[in-house]
């Protein structure tokens, strides 16, 4: 097993002392970490550790009661999900959240929504600026379709695609937004080895070719240790480890959490 | 000022109890099957028409023929049904003890219906209790037919498709009821007291004017509401109903028979519709417009929540009172201010009230806050 | 044999994004439109115009409007009748009070714009409430608008009965008098409206509606603004419905009262959308045809068998059969006539060699 050793200087996003609770249930307690520009950052932890809640806080879907998030130098305590999208944060979901009534092409085209601005009038006529805009964005989307090797399902309704392909289409939709920070919630859950290898390759390629910063949640330890630069470990809503894969692997608290040793 | 205000308030609350009753019919079905049942109003009309025509008075004239035809029809259906059921259970498969008990109950029901029919043939107009009992049996049959012919074939369809189907049922029932029973205005005579009652004469000059008929009706409705609430919260069937409401598939996997549960809720909703039709019909006469009281109960639902029994009760009272108060006190001001051609704001005031409320509390009166997940 | 797409390769994105990418479809639709404009006026009688073609076309347009909201954006509305009434009365008041503007196109557009404004207003709750709660909330608009047009005397020009009438209709100097004239005007407007609707649903605005419909949370997270998207759908939908309402009042009824746009109208249009197929424009036409033709058939049926019935009984029976047909239809094909249409096309593609 090789660990990639790269160094990063610029911090893209930092999370400071985030706490989140639903009614009396604490989902996250006093969590701080940062994501450097250009790195692949993983969040791991047992089920119910608060990993998805953490992503939901970062892209503004949940509003933490305490703490703040600094993104690209701007500190904020709250924002709306579409504001996060406008600032270049895109994501995929643990349980696939594609638009089931639409084709693969249309799904990925929705990822371009923030760049499509022609108003009702031109849209109603579908000529001039509206058509030009549609074709320009279509070209970008076709490049993504080529990149993800899903040309053959371009016009198929996504609801009927197999699970692995749906995950790929969802990644395509997130990529279509050309994000600076890409959040992936269990991109490889439920996949077989081959599909996992494909997905790993896509994630690494995205990171290399487009320089996209990636923050991912994953259960498969082998994959996480292979592809990520740094790892945050959560357990019961608290941070119990943070560092490069080798450090985390030898961290006693992490081993205990995963092997179920009593605290 | 306080006297008229209280009178209006009491009148509104008494009407509100009826809204609660109709809303309860909606809630029962929505909770147990996720179906937004638009046919509830048509069921109220159908039940009221049936009672009115079976108990037999149209402007004092007794109607024999219609009773006879219906009695014969019910008898025929019941006998045919029992025959078919017995054939299926005994001849085709052989029967266990539970099925034998079912069969005995069905035979008893058939005998009862037959007895009623025979009685009716001899006597003409039926006493009110008998008409009510027969109508209850008919509502049960109706629930069975709806489950068998409609719902069973639409399992796992989207909510809007089921909603449309109940709209179709509503159209069918409206047409069926009026084809069978005619479309004049009929009376139901419950023998409720008619003379106005004056309460608290010591407190207010002249006392508060209250219609005792309404009081009795409200008491009946309130009693029913309590019984249903207990049924839902405390009994085994009630628990099964709530389980089905939470998750169809999960309920099935622990052995709750979905079809039986649906049959039960639709029957109970039919009985609730019967009660509402009875009270409403006794108060205002039975006519087509009764099917529109379902529309009156809808704001109750958005106020109280589609799945909350206490919500339906409290919501009904609020809507009833708000509606009457607005009509008596707000409408004249509006009419004068804007030169309107009459008031009638009660038709939409309740909706607006519920809507404004909903903007501030989307989960309704008693709903829990929903945590959204992705 | 004739319906084949093999060999029709697309070399540009423009060609790939056409409304009907298959040549045969293009020819078929063109033929239908030409026939509707040229062939129909050669044989249609006034009865066919006023009882079948005109109602069918106008209600198709209303169904397209409602389908945008329910089928494409996923927001169930029971207030269609109310929005049609807004279109009708707004058009009426403009026609009445600004006689210099005696041009039906302008009058209808005004009706549509006013309906869109009211639609936006009543669409605001859709941000907070969803599903059937929203459906019931839209009933509020229906009842409020019913009441408004029945009670506010200015809107009905102080006529004692509350019913209003129009006469002398013109479009750019063309007098629209005969049923044939009306039919041609309506046909022209409906063709344009359908084209506009199709353009909207295949562009980024249509995708935003469908995204909200399919999964509103995900849509918001990838950057769609829920309120703006929903309100656009309410506005566009109400615009179409408002224009349809104005056409219904001016070109179908001529004289009307608020009852013409009551809640039964809302249900009627919703039936068209569901039976035709949610999220399908061709379905809106098929649904409208079904709902317009069925009562006419039911009315004729007893006569064909020589049975005479009282009108009251006939209307009750009609209710029954109509309700039963709806239920039957939903059970047989919950995805609507549009699905049957697609299946038929699929069969045709393989015909005569299905294996």
Task: Give the residue among C82, C96, C55 at the shortest CA–CA distance from C247.
Answer: C55
- Report how far residue B37's alpha carbon sits from residue A110's, in angstroms, rounded to the nearest whole number: 36
Tokens 């009230």 appear where?
B353
- CA-CA distance, A112 to A134, in Å (whole number)? 10
CA nearest B165: which of C181, C270, A33, C70? Answer: C270
- B23 in contact with C, Cβ within 8 Å: no
Q: Which of A141, A162, A177 is the last residue of a domain?
A: A177
Q: At A183, is the secondary structure helix, strand, or coil?
A: strand
| Helix (H) / strand (E) containing C95 | helix C80-97
Q: What is the pLDDT of residues B42-99, one digit of tens each?
A: 999 999 988 888 776 544 444 445 555 565 566 666 666 666 666 665 555 555 666 6
Interface of B with C in 172-231 (CB under 8 A): 172-176, 178-179, 183
Return the pLDDT at B111. Answer: 67
Q: In terms of CA atoms, which chain C residue is nearest residue B157?
A: C334
CA–CA distance from A121 to each of A124, A126, B9, C197, C280 (Å)? 5, 9, 52, 12, 22
The boundaries of the domain holding residue A104 are: 100-177
Looking at residue A252, what is its pLDDT?
85
**CATH at residue A229:** 3.40.50.300
CB proximity B370 to A under 8 Å: no
Q: Cβ of C259 under 8 Å from any chain B Cβ?
A: no
Q: What angle do CA B197, B203, B207 make, to 5 degrees?
A: 25
Which residues of chain B does A97 touch, with a Cβ-Cβ cutoff of 8 Å? 374
Chain B hits for A52, Cβ within 8 Å? 373-374
The secondary structure of C36-67, three-state, reads HHHHHHHHCCHHHHHHHHHHHHHHHHHHHHHH
Question: Which pLDDT score is estimated for B62?
Answer: 46
Ranges of residues in chain C with a pLDDT under 50 are none
A128 plus A241 within the same structural domain: no
Report the pLDDT averaged over residues B93-117: 64
Q: Is residue C119 within 8 Å of C238, Cβ to Cβ?
A: yes
**Which among C204, C205, C221 is the nearest to A91, CB-wise?**
C221
Q: What is the mean pLDDT of each run of 10 residues along chain A (263 residues)?
A: 66 92 88 94 89 92 91 85 91 91 94 90 89 93 94 91 92 94 92 90 93 91 88 91 89 79 52
The Cα–Cα gap between C137 and C141 comes to: 7
Place of tokens 């709250």: A78
The predicted-structure confidence for B139-189, as pLDDT tens digits, reads as follows 888 888 888 888 888 877 788 888 889 999 999 999 888 877 777 788 787
Separation CA C95–CA C164 (nearest Å)? 12
The CA-CA-CA angle for residues C10, C194, C283, to 5°, reads 85
Instruction: Give C-chain residues touching B36 at CB under 8 angstroms.
Output: 132, 135
Residue closest to A17 by CA, chosen among A239, A204, A243: A239
Q: Quick check: is A56 in a domain?
A: yes
Query: Which residues, other chains included, contact B17 with Cβ-Cβ below 8 Å and sequence gap of 6+?
Result: B217, B218, B221, B222, B225, B316, B317, B320
Contact with chain C for residue B332, Cβ under 8 A: no
Together in a domain, A167 and A183: no
**What percent of chain B shows pLDDT beyond 90?**
5
In a domain, A11, yes or no: yes
* Residue-by-residue DSSP string for B103-149: HHHHHHHHHHHHHHHHHHHHHSSPPHHHHHHHHHHHHHHHHHHHHHH
CB atoms A61 and B371 under 8 Å: no
User: What contacts B135, CB < 8 A, 6 or more positions away?
Assistant: B47, B50, B51, B54, B274
Same domain? A41 vs A80: yes
Same domain for A184 and A262, yes or no, is yes
Question: Per the CB < 8 Å rule, is C204 touching A177?
Answer: no
- Counting every residue written for chain A, the total comes to 263
Backbone dihedral angles phi then psi of residue B169, each to the nearest 5 degrees: -60, -40
Based on the domain organization, do A126 and A197 belong to the same domain? no
Three-class secondary structure of residue B57 per DSSP = strand
3-state secondary structure of A43: strand
Q: Is A94 within a domain?
A: no
Tokens of B276: 């509402």
Structure tokens at B246: 């939470």
User: Of the candidates A177, A208, A228, which is a domain's last residue?
Assistant: A177
CA-CA distance, B318 to B337, in Å (whole number)? 26
pLDDT at residue A261 in the model: 57
Question: In this structure, are A60 and A110 located in the same domain?
Answer: no
Question: Which residues of chain C neighbour B339 with C-beta distances below 8 Å?
Answer: 153-154
Q: Are C66 and C82 in contact (CB under 8 A)?
A: no
Q: Are residues A220 and A143 in the same domain?
A: no
Length of chain C: 355
Strand pairing report for A11-22 and A66-71: antiparallel
CB contact under 8 A, B374 and A22: no
Give the minimum alpha-carbon distance from C64 to chain B in angstroms, rounded to a whole number.
18
- pLDDT value at residue B302: 83
Q: In terms of domains, do A256 and A183 share one?
A: yes
> Do both A172 and A112 map to the same domain?
yes
Structure tokens at B104: 């005995």
Helix (H) or strand (E) holding B28: helix B2-33
Asked whether the beta carbons of B42 and B170 are under 8 A apart, the reply is: yes
Domain boundary among the residues A138, A161, A177 is at A177
Find, in chain A, the residue whose alpha carbon is nearest to that of B370: A22
B152 secondary structure, DSSP code? G
Residue A172 half-sphere exposure toward CB, CA atoms < 13 A: 32
Nearest to C222 among A106, A111, A138 (CB): A111
Per-residue model confidence (pLDDT) at position B7: 81
d(CA B244, CA B263): 13
The residue assigned the tokens 């009933």 is: C139
- What secondary structure letter does DSSP report for C69? I
Q: Which residue has the tokens 């969802």?
A: A170
Average pLDDT across chain B, whole number: 77
| Nearest CB to B176 within list C150, C270, C320 | C320
Residue A1 included in any domain = no
How many domains does chain A divide into?
2
Helix (H) or strand (E) holding B270: helix B258-284
Domain presence at residue A141: yes
Q: Are A233 and A251 in contact (CB under 8 A)?
A: yes
Does B160 touch chain A if contact means CB atoms closer than 8 Å?
no
d(CA B8, CA B6): 5
Task: With respect to residue A2, please indicate whether it lies within any of the assigned structural domains.
Answer: no
Separation in Å, CA B158 to CA A49, B244, B248, C132 = 34, 17, 14, 12
Share of chain B above pLDDT 70, in %: 75
Q: Coil, helix or strand for B210?
A: strand
Q: Does residue A245 lie within any of the structural domains?
A: yes
Same domain (yes/no): A167, A206: no
Task: Using DSSP, state whether B335 is helix, strand or coil.
Answer: helix
Q: How far is C74 from chain B (nearest CA, A)?
A: 10
CB contact under 8 A, A139 and C13: yes
Q: Check if the beta carbon of residue A137 is closer than 8 Å to that of residue A112.
A: yes
Assess contact for A207 and A180: CB atoms under 8 A.
Answer: no
Q: Are B278 and B159 in contact (CB under 8 A)?
A: no
Judging by beta carbons within 10 Å of its beta carbon (0-12, 13-18, 19+), is residue C294 exposed, middle or buried?
Answer: middle
Residue B100 clears pLDDT 70, i.e. is over it: no
What distance lies between CA A87 and its chain's CA centroid?
Answer: 14
How do strand A40-44 and strand A230-235 relate by DSSP bridges? parallel
For A123, the closest of C205, C214, C221 (CB atoms) is C205
Residue B319, Cα to own-chain centre: how many angstroms? Answer: 17
CA–CA gap between residue B159 and residue B156 (Å, rounded):
9
Supply the angle between the helices B293-304 and B346-360 in degrees, to the nearest 10: 20
Q: Is the ipTM of this complex over 0.85?
A: yes
Q: Do A111 and C205 touch (CB under 8 A)?
A: no
Q: Can you say whether the dihedral through the CA atoms of C268, C270, C275, C281 is positive or negative?
A: positive
CA distance B341 to C149: 10
Alpha carbons B110 and B130: distance in angstroms, whole number: 15
**CA A64, CA A73: separation in Å to the nearest integer?**
19
Q: Is A95 inside any structural domain?
A: no
């Amino acid at each position: 097993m090789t660990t990639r050793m790269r160094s990063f200087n610029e911090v893209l996003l930092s999370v400071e002392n985030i706490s989140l609770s639903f009614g009396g249930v604490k989902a996250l307690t006093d969590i701080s970490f940062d994501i450097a520009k250009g790195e692949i950052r993983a969040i791991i932890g047992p089920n119910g550790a608060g990993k998805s809640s953490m992503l939901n806080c970062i892209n503004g879907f949940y509003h933490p009661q305490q703490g703040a998030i600094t993104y690209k130098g701007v500190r904020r305590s709250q924002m709306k999900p579409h504001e996060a999208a406008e600032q270049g944060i895109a994501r995929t979901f643990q349980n696939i959240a594609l638009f089931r009534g639409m084709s693969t092409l249309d799904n990925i085209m929705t990822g371009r929504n923030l760049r499509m601005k022609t108003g009702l009038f031109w849209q109603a006529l579908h000529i001039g600026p509206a058509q030009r805009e549609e074709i320009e964005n279509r070209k970008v989307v076709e490049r993504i379709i080529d990149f993800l090797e899903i040309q053959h399902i371009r016009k198929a309704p996504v609801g009927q695609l197999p699970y692995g392909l749906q995950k790929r289409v969802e990644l395509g939709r997130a990529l279509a937004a050309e994000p600076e920070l890409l959040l992936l919630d269990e991109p490889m859950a439920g996949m077989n080895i081959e599909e996992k290898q494909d997905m790993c390759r896509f994630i690494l390629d995205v990171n290399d070719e487009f320089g996209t910063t990636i923050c991912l949640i994953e259960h498969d330890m082998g994959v996480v240790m292979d592809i990520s630069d740094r790892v945050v470990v959560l357990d019961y809503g608290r941070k119990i480890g943070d560092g490069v894969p080798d450090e985390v692997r030898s961290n006693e608290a992490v081993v205990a959490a995963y092997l179920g040793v009593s605290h | 000022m306080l006297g008229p205000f209280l009178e209006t308030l009491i009148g509104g609350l008494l009407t509100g109890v009826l809204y609660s009753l109709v809303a309860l019919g909606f809630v029962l079905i929505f909770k147990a099957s996720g179906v937004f049942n638009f046919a509830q109003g048509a069921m109220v009309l159908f039940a009221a028409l049936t009672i009115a025509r079976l108990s037999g008075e149209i402007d004092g004239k007794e109607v024999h023929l219609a009773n006879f035809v219906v009695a014969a029809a019910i008898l025929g259906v019941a006998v045919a049904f029992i025959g078919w059921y017995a054939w299926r259970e005994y001849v085709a498969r052989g029967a266990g003890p539970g099925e034998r008990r079912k069969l005995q109950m069905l035979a008893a029901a058939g005998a009862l219906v037959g007895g009623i029919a025979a009685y009716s043939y001899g006597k003409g107009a039926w006493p009110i209790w008998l008409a009510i009992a027969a109508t209850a049996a008919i509502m049960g049959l109706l629930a069975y037919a709806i489950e068998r012919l409609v719902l069973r074939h639409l399992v796992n369809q989207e909510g809007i498709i089921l909603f449309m189907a109940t709209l179709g049922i509503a159209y069918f029932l409206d047409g069926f009821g009026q084809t069978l029973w005619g479309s004049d205005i009929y009376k139901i005579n419950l023998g409720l007291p008619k003379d106005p009652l004056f309460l608290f004469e010591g407190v207010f000059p002249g006392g508060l004017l209250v219609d005792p008929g309404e009081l009795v009706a409200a008491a009946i409705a309130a009693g029913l509401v309590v019984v249903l609430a207990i049924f839902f919260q405390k009994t085994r069937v009630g628990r099964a109903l709530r389980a089905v409401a939470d998750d169809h598939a999960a309920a099935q996997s622990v052995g709750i028979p979905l079809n039986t549960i649906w049959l039960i809720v639709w029957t109970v909703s039919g009985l609730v519709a019967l009660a509402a039709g009875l009270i409403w019909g006794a108060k205002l006469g039975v006519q087509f417009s009764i099917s529109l009281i379902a529309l009156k109960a809808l704001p109750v639902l958005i106020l109280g929540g589609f799945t909350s029994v206490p919500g339906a009760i409290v919501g009904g009272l609020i809507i009833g009172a708000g509606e009457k108060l607005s009509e008596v006190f707000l409408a004249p001001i509006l009419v004068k201010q804007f030169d309107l051609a009459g008031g009638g704001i009660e038709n939409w005031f309740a909706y607006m009230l519920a809507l404004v409320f909903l903007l501030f509390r989307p989960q309704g009166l008693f709903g829990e806050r929903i945590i959204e997940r992705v | 044999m004739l319906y084949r797409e093999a060999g029709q390769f697309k070399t540009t994105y423009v060609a790939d994004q056409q409304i009907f990418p298959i040549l045969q479809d293009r020819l078929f639709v063109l033929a239908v439109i030409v026939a509707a404009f040229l062939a129909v006026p050669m044989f249609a009688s006034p009865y066919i115009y006023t009882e079948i073609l005109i109602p069918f076309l106008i209600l198709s347009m209303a169904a397209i409007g409602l389908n945008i909201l329910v089928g494409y954006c996923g927001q169930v509305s029971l207030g269609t009748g109310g929005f049609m009434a807004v279109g009708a009365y707004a058009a009426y008041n403009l026609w009445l009070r600004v006689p210099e503007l005696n041009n039906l196109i302008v009058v209808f557009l005004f009706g549509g714009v006013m309906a869109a404004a009211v639609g936006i207003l009543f669409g605001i709750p859709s941000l907070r409430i969803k599903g059937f709660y929203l459906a019931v909330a839209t009933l509020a608009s229906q009842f409020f608008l019913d009441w408004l047009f029945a009670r506010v005397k200015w809107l009905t020009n102080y006529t004692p009965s509350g019913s209003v009438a129009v006469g002398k209709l013109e479009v750019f100097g063309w007098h629209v008098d005969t049923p044939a004239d009306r039919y041609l005007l309506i046909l022209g407007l409906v063709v344009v409206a359908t084209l506009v609707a199709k353009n909207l649903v295949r562009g980024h605005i249509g995708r935003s509606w469908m995204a909200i419909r399919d999964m509103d949370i995900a849509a918001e997270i990838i950057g769609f603004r829920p309120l703006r998207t929903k309100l656009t759908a309410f506005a566009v939908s109400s615009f179409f419905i408002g224009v349809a309402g104005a056409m219904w009042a001016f070109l179908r009824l001529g004289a009307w009262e608020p009852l013409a746009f009551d809640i039964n109208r809302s249900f009627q249009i919703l039936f068209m959308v569901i039976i035709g197929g949610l999220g399908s424009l061709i379905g809106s036409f098929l649904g409208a045809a079904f709902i317009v033709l069925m009562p006419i058939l039911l009315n004729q049926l007893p006569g064909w068998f020589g049975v005479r019935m009282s009108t009251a009984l006939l209307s009750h029976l009609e209710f029954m059969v109509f309700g039963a047909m709806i239920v039957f239809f939903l059970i047989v094909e919950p995805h609507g006539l549009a699905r049957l249409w697609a299946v038929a096309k699929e069969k045709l593609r393989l015909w005569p060699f299905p294996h």
